[in-house]
């Protein structure tokens, strides 16, 4: 099997701390597997404008296409690595709030 080089990507940051996964080769995906992969777009403009423009472009290509767009921050909030500490912080805030209410009530009764 032969491939044609169509471009060269800039250096990337790997996920592993030793950098062993920073060298990548990008290959075309078969058309029947495209729905299994997300497209990540980096932008410096407002993400809502980019999402709206993408939705318009996709619907002009295929009106029956189903698209779902969200920001990376929204996706990360749903991952366990970020959701668990966020939930723990929310519980700690609630417990702290009730502790302040109890302390305030106790001080008023003194």
| Domain definitions of the chain by residue range | 79-110
pTM (predicted TM-score): 0.44
Give the per-residue pLDDT at 92.
96
Say if CB 35 and CB 44 are below 8 A apart: no
Say if CB 78 and CB 71 are below 8 A apart: no
Quick check: 42 pLDDT over 80?
Answer: yes
Q: How confident is the model at residue 79 (pLDDT cuts 50, 70, 90)?
A: confident
Q: How confident is the model at residue 19 (pLDDT cuts 50, 70, 90)?
A: low
Instruction: Provide the token pair at 98.
Output: 């009730």
The position carrying tokens 């305030």 is: 104
Give the per-residue pLDDT at 15.
67
Quick check: 59 pLDDT over 70?
Answer: yes
Give the per-residue pLDDT at 45.
86
């Amino acid at each position: 099997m032969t491939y044609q080089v169509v471009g060269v990507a800039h250096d990337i940051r790997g996920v592993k701390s030793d950098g062993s996964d920073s060298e990548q080769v990008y290959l075309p995906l078969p058309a029947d597997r495209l729905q299994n992969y997300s497209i990540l777009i980096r932008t410096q403009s407002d993400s809502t404008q980019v999402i709206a423009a993408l939705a318009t472009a996709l619907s002009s290509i295929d009106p029956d296409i189903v698209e779902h767009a969200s920001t990376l921050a929204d996706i990360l909030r749903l991952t366990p690595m970020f959701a668990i500490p966020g939930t723990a912080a929310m519980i700690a805030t609630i417990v702290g709030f009730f502790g302040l209410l109890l302390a305030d009530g106790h001080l008023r009764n003194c």
